[in-house]
Structures are given as structure tokens and as C-alpha cells.
Chains A and B, each alone.
Chain A
């Protein structure tokens, strides 16, 4: 069983729909933030809404939380429409971008706050607060004030506060955006661990594509207020629905040209004099000859060699001059002229094992037609 089959197999066990967003629209005075968004999220799953700033992802999250009312459409939580329910009557825990911990309370008081507001039995509150502080590894920090805690510890208090009342749904509004990379990656795994341990349905919002791939069962990519794709992380990466998704996740080369021939899914197009063959990846029939198309080719799918003879396994080969070679530690990144005005970025993940090229070298590049995902331009 492959890793992806394992991940998707686990998802198949959950079937009950926890959150259903139906044709939700959100317009501000001069800005159409969310356009006709619809998706279902099954119980216990971890969904990430990924998109650049201004894509409408935070607006969508805030509508689910109840801070904003959709202009049109309806949101269902556990089958019930919630538009008329104010935020404090919804069973939703949320971790805010700037955490929004109560500065005048201790860590334990912050975590106890939702229990008091939701009228939990007062005698059980201290025990439950301690249990959730332990869950986030902050058992010994109960009496610290918020400003006495480090950034990572504050994150953990915010998680405990969002989860302590066992909400139906957990929302994460880019809480990791402000952290440095190392701590961010540590907290991503921590979110994942806690989410699995408690099995709480989670919607995470981020602009960090790596985070989306690492933590999620499913990824929604949004752009300009429109949901572009909803798929498991591996499918989002391997079979992007359109050029935007292909470009937003991973390092992708875009090569554009006019179609010269088609045969089934295979589309050949002319890029500044050299012919590139790709695979039609968009919905609908293959384009006609002469149509303008864009091929998306991941930087790690291109192989390099001194001569074409060494690239016998590749369906397409081409030559180009190395314009830059950047050492990034775990990989070397080459920028190579494919055609006038078209630079190809190529990863070499094992530079010690291969011949290394220098700026100005004329090299052979090769790839397969299935790796050039071709979309209408």
C-alpha cells in the first residue's frame, strides 16, 4: 500500500458531514470577498484552506465562526443552518491569528474562561483545565500570566482554550504565521498530533503551502474569492485542477505556446521554436491546433545531463545555458534558458551524486510528457 492510499484509506472511514458550506457569497461595500463557495467536510477531518492574501480564505473562516454573516448562501454545522446563530451560541473553538489571549488572565484562567461562559459544572473545571494544559504540554505553567510565556507557549494556551469545551469544530486562523520557521514546523506537527488525538473536525487557514500539505487530510485552494480545488494534499500536488493551483503549490515552471498537434491527452506546443509535449490536465476537450496553452512543469521533474544520450528515459529533451546555480543546502537550484524569455528552474536534490554544472554551461534537460500539465492559457 502506498502512503497516499494509506492516508486516503483512513479518510474513507469517516462519513458523517460535519460542516457544509452551500453557495456562500460575501460582498463588502466595494469588494466581492467570497464567490459562491460550496464544500462539505466530513467529521473528524483536518481541512486546510490555502490561498494568497485577499483570496477570501479568512472571510470564509470568519463566516463559519459567526463573526460575519454571508451575503448569500448557508453554512450548516452538523446538519443545522447556523446563519441565525450568534458566535457565542455556536460550539466552535478558534485559534486566532494574533491568538487573542486575555492578557489580564493567567494561562489557566484563559483556558477556564470558555468553561465558565458555557456554564460547565464549576467543580469539574479545575480538573478539566489541568487535563487540557497537560495535553498541550503546559501542565507546569497554569499560573503564568500570558506575557510571561514564550510565543510557542502562548500558541499552546490558545489551542487549549479553543479545545477545552470539546467544540464540534476547531478553526485555526493562520495562528502560525508569525512564528519563526523552526517553531512553526514544530507547531504544525503539534496541531496534527492534538487533532488526531481528539479527533476534532478542524478547518485551518494558511498561505503556507508546505503547512497545508503537512497537516491536512484535505486542502481547499482559494484565489480571488473562488474555490479552485478541494482534494487531498497529494492529489492537490500531483493533479492540480488549474494553472493557479499548479503554480501556488510547489515550485512550478510555466511554459506557454501555441498548440501544434494533439493526440488523445497529449498536447504538443511550440515554445520559442522548440516543441514541448504535455498532458492535457484541464476539464473539457483537448484544445485545437493554434490555441494558446500553458504547461506546468515542476522543478523536481526535470533531469539534467551533459548530453541528450544520458537522458534516454525522457520523452522530451532540450538544451539550454545555465544562467544561475543556487546552493540551498538540501538541493541545488539551476536556472536554465529553455527558449528566449523562458527560464526553467530545476532542482537537483542530490548534487553530490551528480555532475554539477556551472553558470554558462550548455546542458541537456529532459522530462516526460505526463509531467507537463497543460492548461488553457
Chain B
């Protein structure tokens, strides 16, 4: 291998450092601000204290909003696993009529501005008289983010050796046994990465939840937004850090279960 010229490597590393700083700046600022001992949100923080974490731990409205967010994320994930898995396998494996059209149709939630789908869902759920409950919010998160799940499963499924299912048939497995014993385990990395992604996206979802929730069903991002409208205090930074920690935990879990390299390749 040839040695890179020094000048070139300095340029590259400076670029990398800049990009890393820009990408992580919001996280670092929020993280720092959450540990302030002062009363206003600022960076660098004044002193160090955990008082704002103590405050949010005691704040009932934040705590229950967080629990509701977890519930929404869980409902969204539970719906998306069967739906996204079946759709992903079908789209990658079988010659379906109007496959292109179907793929574009499944991409629609991305092309419609979230505010648009949010209003649409609000009207629909309002007509159905199911607003004011948690599960429609989970369902809505599932609808708008489902393409992520489908893509993750499709990528896994497309990389599967098509002979595996023939081999299963040759071993005496009927179509249903083959599906559960060979196809599903084969696309499991896609299912795991897809569903963890769905979980994070639903946990963080703001705009659609804003339209679909009320005082009884408010989720954490909406709750934070409502608080900002009155006064920005460091407890919001603290709750944001809790959020970041949750997302980091999910990513760590993903790494343990399927390996981040596989996940990144499937995107």
C-alpha cells in the first residue's frame, strides 16, 4: 500500500473532524446544558448539578408522557412487524402484478409532508371516533414510517439465497413450514433492525402526534413542545438527554442482536 501524502491526509482528517463536530454539536450542547446548576438553559453550563434530572423524575406530567410515548412506540412496532415483514418478503421474492406501482404506493407516506398525513389521519380518526386513545397514535406512527420496516426486510430477503426455500421443500417442508423455519429466520436481521428503527421513530415522533393527541394522550415530544411555549428551562435539556439515552440503548441493542454493519448495509 502506498502512503498518503501528509497534506492530503491533513485535509481529509480536518473535514472528518468538522463533520463530526457539526453532527454531534446539538447533542453535546443539550447534554451540557442539562447538567447546569443555574436556572436558565445555556451552554457552556453554569456549574454542575443533577437537580434538573431530579426535577423531571418527580414531574408527573413528563413521566406519564414518557410512558405514553413508550406505549405508542410499542404499539407501532407490534403492528409493523407482521405487516412490514410480509410486505417486504412479498415485494422482494415474488413476481407481483403492479409491483412497481405497489412500491411507489408504499413510498407515498414519504412524499406526503408529515403535516399533510397528520391532518388526514386526524380527520379519519375523528370520523371513526377513536381520537383520545393511545393506540391510534401508534397506528399512525406505523403508517407513516412503515417504508423503513419494509425496506429493512426487503434488503434481508433479497440477499437470501433463493435456493434455500427449494432446499426446504426438498427436505419435505411444505410452504408454511418453509416460511416459518427457513424464510423468517433468514430475514430475521431485517426484521430486528426494522422494528428497532420503527420503535425509535415512533418514540421520537412529533408532528403527527401533535395533531392526534390531546391532554389525556399527550406524548413526550409533544409535552416538551408544550412546555417550550411557556418558558425554556434546563429540565427540557435533561428530558432530551433521557431521550438520547433511550435511542442509544436501542442502537446498542441492535448492535448486539444483528451487528451494526449488517444494519447499515441493509439501508
Whether the Cβ atoms of A98 and B163 lie closer than 8 Å is yes
Q: Which residues of B contact A117 (CB under 8 A)?
A: 168, 171-173, 177, 181
* A313 contacts partner chain B, Cβ-Cβ < 8 Å: no
Residues of A within 8 A of B178 (CB): 88
Report how far A67 CA is from B170 CA in the complex, Å. 9
**Shortest Cβ distance from B181 into A: residue:** A113
In whole Å, how far is A87's beta carbon from the nearest beta carbon of chain B? 4
Say yes or no for A100: interface residue by CB 8 A criterion: yes
A21 in the interface (beta carbon within 8 A)? no
Q: Is the CB of B172 within 8 A of A118?
A: yes
Interface residues of B, dominant DSSP: helix
Interface 9-mer from A89-97, A135-143, A366-374: A89-97
Instruction: Indicate if A264 sits at the interface (CB-CB under 8 A).
Output: no
Residues of A within 8 A of B166 (CB): 65, 67, 87, 96, 100
From known contacts A96-B163, A100-B163, infer whether A87 and B182 are also in contact, taking CB-CB under 8 Å. no
Which chain A residues border B15 with CB–CB below 8 Å? none
Q: Given the complex, which residues of B lie within 8 Å of A88, measured CB to CB?
A: 168-174, 178
Among A86, A92, A102, A114, the residue within 8 A (CB) of B164 is A102
Chain B CB within 10 A, most for which of A86, A113, A162 = A113
Is B171 touching A113 in the complex (CB atoms < 8 A)?
yes
Give the distance in Å from the alpha carbon of A165 to the alpha carbon of B168 in the complex: 13
Bitwise, A338-360 to B at CB < 8 A (1) or not (0) is: 00000000000000000000000
Q: Which residues of A contact B186 (CB under 8 A)?
A: 103-104
Bound-state CA distance A103–B189 (Å) is 12
Q: Is the CB of B169 within 8 A of A100?
A: no
Contacting pair A100 B185 (CB below 8 A):
no
* Beta-carbon contacts under 8 Å, A9-61 to B: none
Query: Is B60 close to A, CB under 8 A?
Result: no
Chain B residue numbers with a CB within 8 Å of A66 are 169
Assembly CA distance A101 to B161 (angstroms): 10
Contact of A100 with B172 at beta-carbon distance under 8 Å, contacts A113-B181, A117-B177 already known: no
Quick check: is B188 within 8 A (CB to CB) of the other chain? yes
- Using known A-B contacts A104-B185, A113-B181, determine if residue A94 contacts B164 with beta carbons closer than 8 Å: no
List 11 extra interface pairs beyond A65-B166, A65-B170, A117-B181, CB under 8 A: A88-B172, A88-B173, A94-B170, A97-B163, A102-B181, A102-B182, A104-B186, A113-B171, A117-B168, A117-B172, A117-B177
A-B contacts, 26 of them at CB < 8 A, read: A65-B166, A65-B170, A67-B166, A87-B166, A88-B169, A88-B172, A92-B170, A93-B170, A94-B167, A94-B170, A98-B163, A100-B161, A100-B166, A102-B164, A102-B168, A102-B185, A103-B186, A104-B186, A104-B188, A113-B173, A114-B172, A117-B171, A117-B172, A118-B172, A162-B170, A165-B172
